[in-house]
Structure 1
């Protein structure tokens, strides 16, 4: 009897030191998927890393127990997070390069270094995060701080909330960071879909038709209907294990708002129009006969029932626990084509209106809800590995993924290091093209992850900038058409 009692005590103690891995967290650490997020903070001043260990111990690690845990399997074979002692030095990497070189030299060093860490797998034997301190000056910053966090720790919303909780306002640390107001129509996408769907069932048959068509198409895209091999999609197996290039560009939010106001559309319509036109321009220039090849974008949607960022403390409260973690959904969107009877040179605004029509149509559909239910059913009856395979196919069969985050309006600082710029990239995705966006201090930073070899990153960047320039010039003819950099 004593042995049984002791074992029970040990089991209880072990259970107290561990907690379940969410279903999505299990998908992202499966045999077919291992996805991470890389966030880059550009420092205005040379980086002093003397306080790194203190910040880790006192600020970063207390944010969430996942940052001090590893994944283990319990006696039932289920994955759980288990608390461990963190060896801080194992998670801090400071690369060494030749001293005294030109900034352009360090640009190349930094780009290659990002490629290197994007390809590397985070060791499962320790908590799934790393911090890389690049101390050399580039043409864009005096130094770079790179966070690499496994996607199983949380989605972009959770991880960005954690990162921002380590930062302060540069002008006055006692004041909170503020963010652009969320559009109430976008504050809760899942609820929004449900409301629209229920309304349209009564008012319009189109809501039901759109749902059936969209869900059926999504099902086909995730199983056996692949996009064509094009200049933006190699279609090769194992593309997630290949090197990538990460390039960035900047656009003025004021200019985007001017376009929005003049065309009477939304900011999302404008951004999607720019990206879609840029993709078609790149395809047209690279392989003209494939300029209108069938291409699908996976747009990531935040499904939380909240109107903006919450503090990490708020996200982890029992009543708000679902706000931390992976709470997103995929939306399949066909990239609009260049009409035979029109030219992208003469009608660039057509892509903004096409994007608007696609987005409005998708909002008159509950396909995202059905897809979520399908994943829940697969998880329940087939397990996380089968569900992970389904998600892998969803990504692999499409041409690109698009995701965005809203950043602060004020300049931030980390340990008295003013942050000049901020962007992120999702890596380990079985696609040749990934586009992410984040706003910061009145600027939209667009980061593009491209498979090395098949895609020319500089040509693709020029195509996106060219698309913005054309749309801005057509929508705001009275203003300068020069693309801000």
Structure 2
């Protein structure tokens, strides 16, 4: 794969790296975000080049490169042709459905580092027909430029509703009530008791989570399973696998169980990974090549934890790009996220609703803790006092010691288009992490898109994990129907 390189003209304006940007740029971390977008039509490269020429200079991170000492952003005049790749594709190489070619191409990209002498992003246009798209555009952006919320906001700023080209589609969220509605009608004494009790639980949960966080940084590791990666996994090629499920089914379960969409997705993930691991462990006990899925082959006392990303912005949901770029904005651009550590229940349950109840309980407790904000504060403070190298070590240790990472991003509620090109799906993900499995969820136009990023040397069959997710969702819906809860 050859990319033309040209020297871009520097201008005088410079900005120091943010603490999190310097952590992500360290050799020990060095994460890169990937956004895979499928389009319903063939994609015209000239349209993308024209849009970039008019807009990329308006965004300081996409029009800046690293200084020679790696401590500052230096604004440059961007030559967008150097950041857009349209590879020549021999039709003989595509194969039957084109998806294999696209997957191989993106996997090769994960082995090619972004050129640090230029702004740290590029875009690849693949006019290859796949089962669910006529063309695919792959955007790579170094994690130092911004987190997932920032990148999706940028995509929304560049698109419009397919049904109404004059409007963008900014999804919104409402904060959940922290005080039960019924308690508001009670007397001041009962409200005082609730407030004191809630504060004590908050302090206790934060203390326990802090102890577990430091234990994870220092020595506490997950059990070695067929899904567990290691510190060198991030240097291996990464493959991405995608599956689309019904958002309506998820909302149906959410409303029936009085929980959040995140709770449902966490329950589905636990159920699916339990089935997947049980099947792998069961192969060691296979008799006459016959193995029933409901035989429990999982080892006892299995420690299996996931890092779950948390948005730290005071304004939740996506905001217009102009608002995110404004000075002192509450929804500002950058890396303003942290993580919480979720203990997964890897077990074989006869009632699939048990996974949902467990996930709801776990998330309810984690929401009543300052774990995420404290983890961000610790990393930021260490970077200020001891430097980026020490901060990156502290940041990466939990990633190495945990098994996986899960995130959920709310996307456009209606179909969107980019300059006349309707988007079939949006699948954000990441590579460079020291984990063999990443699970990303994103809602889009009435669908929930599952994106898996895996190390194929450890997980050669990620499609089976997605199969287990679909099957687990069906079983949960059927269980609710049988109990008359739908």
**TM-score of the two chains, using structure 1 as the length reference:** 0.87
For residue 91 of structure 2, give the secondary structure of its aligned residue in structure 1. Answer: coil
Which of 29, 32, 37 aligns to 2:28? It is 32
Q: Deviations over 1:368-422 (max 9, x none)?
A: 2322221122112111111011111121111011112111111111121111111
Which of 146, 170, 176 aligns to 1:185? It is 176
Instruction: Indicate yes or no: 2:224 matched with 1:220.
Output: no
The alignment's C-alpha RMSD in Å is 2.4
Q: Is the 8 A contact 2:383 2:390 kept in 1?
A: yes
Map 1:48-67 onto structure 2 (within 5 A): 48-59=44-55, 61-67=56-62
Could you say which residue in structure 1 is the equivalent of 2:294? Answer: none
Q: Is the 8 A contact 1:280 1:291 kept in 2?
A: no
Which of 55, 72, 95 aligns to 1:80? It is 72
Q: Displacement of 1:204 after TM fit? A: 5.9
Map 1:450-469 onto structure 2 (within 5 A): 450-455=454-459, 456-469=461-474
Which of 464, 467, 476 aligns to 1:471? It is 476
Map 1:226-265 onto structure 2 (within 5 A): 226-235=221-230, 237-265=231-259
Which of 303, 306, 311 aligns to 1:302? It is 311
Gaps of 5+ in 2: 1-9, 179-192, 283-296
Could you say which residue in structure 1 is the equivalent of 2:168? Answer: 176
Instruction: Indicate yes or no: 2:308 matched with 1:317.
Output: no
Which of 427, 433, 440 aligns to 2:437? It is 433
Measure, in 1, the Cα distance between the counterparts of 2:415 and 2:92. 29
Could you say which residue in structure 2 is the equivalent of 1:362? Answer: 366
After superposition, the Cα gap between the structure-2 partners of 1:62 and 1:406, relative to the gap in structure 1 and judged at 3 Å, is: farther
Q: Is the 8 A contact 1:233 1:399 kept in 2?
A: yes
After superposition, the Cα gap between the structure-2 partners of 1:24 and 1:322, relative to the gap in structure 1 and judged at 3 Å, is: farther
Q: Deviations over 1:321-368 (max 9, x none)?
A: 761100001100010132xxxx52x21110000000011111222222
After superposition, the Cα gap between the structure-2 partners of 1:270 and 1:333, relative to the gap in structure 1 and judged at 3 Å, is: same
After superposition, the Cα gap between the structure-2 partners of 1:31 and 1:138, relative to the gap in structure 1 and judged at 3 Å, is: same
Map 1:69-468 onto structure 2 (within 5 A): 69-72=64-67, 79-99=71-91, 104-179=96-171, 181-185=172-176, 203=198, 205-235=200-230, 237-288=231-282, 289-290=297-298, 293-320=302-329, 323-338=332-347, 343-344=348-349, 346-455=350-459, 456-468=461-473
Measure, in 2, the Cα distance between the counterparts of 1:160 and 1:473. 34
Measure, in 1, the Cα distance between the counterparts of 2:122 and 2:108. 13
For residue 315 of structure 2, give the secondary structure of its aligned residue in structure 1. Answer: coil
Measure, in 2, the Cα distance between the counterparts of 1:260 and 1:322. 27
Q: Is the 8 A contact 1:63 1:162 kept in 2?
A: no
Measure, in 2, the Cα distance between the counterparts of 1:115 and 1:223. 32
Measure, in 1, the Cα distance between the counterparts of 2:377 and 2:417. 41
Q: Displacement of 1:118 after TM fit? A: 2.1
Return 427-436 or 169-178, whichever deviates more: 169-178
Return 123-132 or 368-377, whichever deviates more: 368-377
